[in-house]
C-alpha cells in the first residue's frame, strides 16, 4: 500500500486508536430511533455527487424524524444545500487535510450516534467519521484502508460500481435501517435567487425569449466535455430555427473563456453568464430554462433535481451510473461507445471520445424537448 507521509501517519494513528478503544465494538446492535439522536452524513466531494446523496439523506430523515442531521459538505457547494429540509446543520469540508483538526472538533461537538459516508474523499472521510465519536459508521464501497473502522462488513452489492450512484447511497442508508424507494434528488430554489434571475433576465431583455435554451459546455474533466465547435454549431442551428430563442451559456469562473468563445461563435441570440452567478442563482436560472444541453456535470444534476428538461451527453462516463433515473420523460440521454479499451479517463492526454456524439442527434433531441415544453 503506497502512502504519503501524512496518509501513513493518519493510518497508523487510526490503527492504534482503534486497537485501544474500549467503545464502538458492538456492530451487531441495531440502530433504533430511540437510540439515535444525532446523525452525521458525509457527502464531501463534487456538486453532482452531493445532489445524488439527497435521496438517501431524505431516507435517513424519514427513519429518524427526531434526530438532528448534520451534513459534511464541500465548502464550495455548501450554500446550495443550506435550504435542504432534511439537513439541520452543515459542517464544511475544505478538502484534503486542510483544517482537518477544526473539522474533527466540529464533528465531535455534534456527539453523533451514527455516521453515514455517502460519498467522501479518502483517506480523510472514514477517519473523520470515526474521530467524530459515532458508534455506527456505514460506507459503500468498504474502504480498503479503513475497513476496520466501519460497522458494515459487506457492500450490499457484488460490485457497487455497476449500480447507479443514487442506489449505492440508498443501500448505504439501508444498513442503518433506512428503507426508501424515492430516488428524486432534493433541491429547493432560493426565493431571493429566483428574484435576482428574474431581474437579470429582464435586464438582458431575455424575459420574453422562448425557448430559453441552456448550454453547459464545461465539465470537471476534459474527457467528459463535448467539443466547443459542436456547441457553436448546435447554437447557430437552434437560433436559425427558433428566431425568438435565446441560448444562455453557464459555467464556472474557470470556464469563462470557453463559454465566451461559444457565445461569440453562435453570435446574436447567445449570451454567457459563466462565472457571474452564485450556485443558488445558477439553480434559479436552470429552473427558468426550457431545456439544458449539458455534459455529465453538476449543472446537469441541478436540472434533473429541479425538473428542468435536459439533453445530456455521455462518453466515456456511463449514463446508467450518474444520469437521470427519475422523471425520464423530461430527460433525453445521448451516449456513444467508448472508442478506446481500456479507457484511462482522467489520465487521457488527448480525449476525443465525445466527438463521436454528432450535432444533428443533439439538435433533434433538443427540438423534441422544446416541442414537449410548450
Name which of 55, 41, 91 is nearest 82 in CA terms.
91
Q: Are 258 and 223 in contact (CB under 8 A)?
A: no
Q: Quick check: bond before 123 cis, omega within 30? A: yes
Q: What pLDDT score does 360 carry?
A: 97
Both 65 and 106 in a single domain?
Answer: yes
Q: What pLDDT score does 330 carry?
A: 97
Of 149, 174, 199, the residue at which a domain comes to its end is 174
In a domain, 185, yes or no: no
In a domain, 58, yes or no: yes
CA distance 226 to 351: 10
In a domain, 182, yes or no: no
Both 50 and 148 in a single domain?
Answer: yes
CA distance 296 to 312: 7
Name which of 98, 97, 90 is nearest 124 in CA terms.
97
Q: What pLDDT score does 181 carry?
A: 84
Rounded average pLDDT over 321-345: 89
Rounded average pLDDT over 217-241: 94
In a domain, 183, yes or no: no
For residue 331, give the CATH number of its domain: 3.40.50.2000
Phi/psi for 75 (5° steps) reads -55, -30
Both 340 and 214 in a single domain?
Answer: yes
Rounded average pLDDT over 304-326: 95
Both 215 and 259 in a single domain?
Answer: yes
In a domain, 237, yes or no: yes
Rounded average pLDDT over 136-150: 93
Both 205 and 237 in a single domain?
Answer: yes
Both 287 and 195 in a single domain?
Answer: yes
Q: Looking at the predicted structure, is the pLDDT value of residue 349 above 80?
A: no
Both 324 and 230 in a single domain?
Answer: yes
In a domain, 369, yes or no: yes
Of 174, 201, 228, the residue at which a domain comes to its end is 174
Q: What pLDDT score does 24 carry?
A: 52
Count up the domains in the chain and report the number.
2
Q: What is the pLDDT of residues 235-263, one digit of tens each?
A: 999 999 999 999 999 999 999 999 999 99
Q: What is the pLDDT of residues 146-183, one digit of tens each?
A: 999 999 999 999 899 899 999 999 999 999 999 888 99
Joined grid coordinates for residue 103:
473539522
Rounded average pLDDT over 56-83: 96
pTM, whole model, 2 decimals? Answer: 0.94
Both 142 and 197 in a single domain?
Answer: no
In a domain, 55, yes or no: yes
Both 244 and 127 in a single domain?
Answer: no
Both 164 and 109 in a single domain?
Answer: yes
192 by DSSP, 3-state: which?
A: helix
Burial code of 83-111, b = ≥16 C-beta within 10 A, e = fewer? bbebbeebbbbeeeeeebeebbebbeebe
**Which range of residues forms the domain containing residue 113?**
5-174
Both 231 and 350 in a single domain?
Answer: yes
In a domain, 180, yes or no: no
Both 145 and 285 in a single domain?
Answer: no
**Judging by beta carbons within 10 Å of its beta carbon (0-12, 13-18, 19+), is residue 333 exposed, middle or buried?**
middle
Q: How confident is the model at residue 195 (pLDDT cuts 50, 70, 90)?
A: very high
Q: What pLDDT score does 374 carry?
A: 66
Q: What pLDDT score does 210 carry?
A: 86
21 by DSSP, 3-state: which?
A: coil
Q: What pLDDT score does 324 carry?
A: 97
Of 124, 147, 174, the residue at which a domain comes to its end is 174
Amino acid at each position: 500500500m503506497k502512502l504519503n507521509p501524512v496518509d501513513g501517519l493518519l493510518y497508523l494513528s487510526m490503527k492504534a486508536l482503534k486497537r485501544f478503544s474500549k467503545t464502538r465494538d458492538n456492530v451487531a446492535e441495531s440502530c433504533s430511533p430511540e437510540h439515535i439522536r444525532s446523525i452525521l452524513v458525509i457527502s464531501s466531494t463534487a456538486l453532482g455527487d452531493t445532489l445524488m446523496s439527497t435521496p438517501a439523506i431524505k431516507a435517513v430523515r424519514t427513519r429518524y424524524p427526531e434526530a438532528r442531521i448534520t451534513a459534511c459538505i464541500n465548502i464550495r457547494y455548501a450554500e446550495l444545500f443550506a435550504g435542504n429540509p432534511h439537513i439541520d446543520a452543515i459542517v464544511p469540508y475544505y478538502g484534503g487535510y486542510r483544517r482537518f483538526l477544526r473539522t474533527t472538533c466540529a464533528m465531535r461537538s455534534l456527539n453523533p450516534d451514527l455516521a453515514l459516508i455517502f460519498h467522501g474523499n479518502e483517506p480523510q472521510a472514514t477517519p473523520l467519521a470515526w474521530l467524530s465519536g459515532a458508534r455506527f459508521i456505514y460506507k459503500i464501497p468498504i474502504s480498503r484502508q479503513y475497513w476496520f473502522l466501519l460497522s458494515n462488513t459487506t457492500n450490499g452489492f457484488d460490485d457497487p460500481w455497476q449500480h447507479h450512484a443514487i442506489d449505492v447511497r440508498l443501500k448505504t442508508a439501508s444498513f442503518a435501517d433506512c428503507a426508501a424507494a424515492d430516488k428524486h434528488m432534493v433541491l429547493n430554489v432560493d426565493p431571493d435567487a429566483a428574484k435576482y434571475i428574474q431581474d437579470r433576465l429582464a435586464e438582458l431583455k431575455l424575459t420574453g425569449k422562448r425557448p430559453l435554451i441552456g448550454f453547459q459546455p464545461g465539465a470537471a474533466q476534459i474527457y467528459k466535455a463535448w467539443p466547443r465547435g459542436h456547441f457553436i454549431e448546435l447554437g447557430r442551428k437552434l437560433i436559425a430555427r427558433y428566431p425568438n430563442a435565446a441560448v444562455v451559456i453557464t459555467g464556472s469562473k474557470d470556464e469563462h473563456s470557453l463559454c465566451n468563445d461559444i457565445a461569440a461563435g453562435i453570435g446574436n441570440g447567445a449570451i454567457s453568464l459563466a462565472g457571474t452567478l452564485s450556485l443558488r442563482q445558477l439553480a434559479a436560472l436552470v429552473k427558468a430554462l426550457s431545456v439544458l444541453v449539458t455534459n455529465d456535470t453538476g449543472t446537469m444534476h441541478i436540472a434533473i433535481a429541479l425538473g428542468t428538461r435536459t439533453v445530456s451527453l455521455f462518453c466515456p462516463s456511463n449514463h446508467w451510473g450518474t444520469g437521470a433515473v427519475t422523471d425520464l420523460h423530461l430527460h433525453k440521454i445521448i451516449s456513444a461507445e467508448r472508442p478506446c479499451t481500456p479507457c484511462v479517463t482522467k489520465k487521457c492526454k488527448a480525449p476525443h471520445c465525445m466527438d463521436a456524439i454528432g450535432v444533428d442527434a443533439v439538435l433533434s433531441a433538443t427540438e423534441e424537448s422544446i416541442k414537449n415544453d410548450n
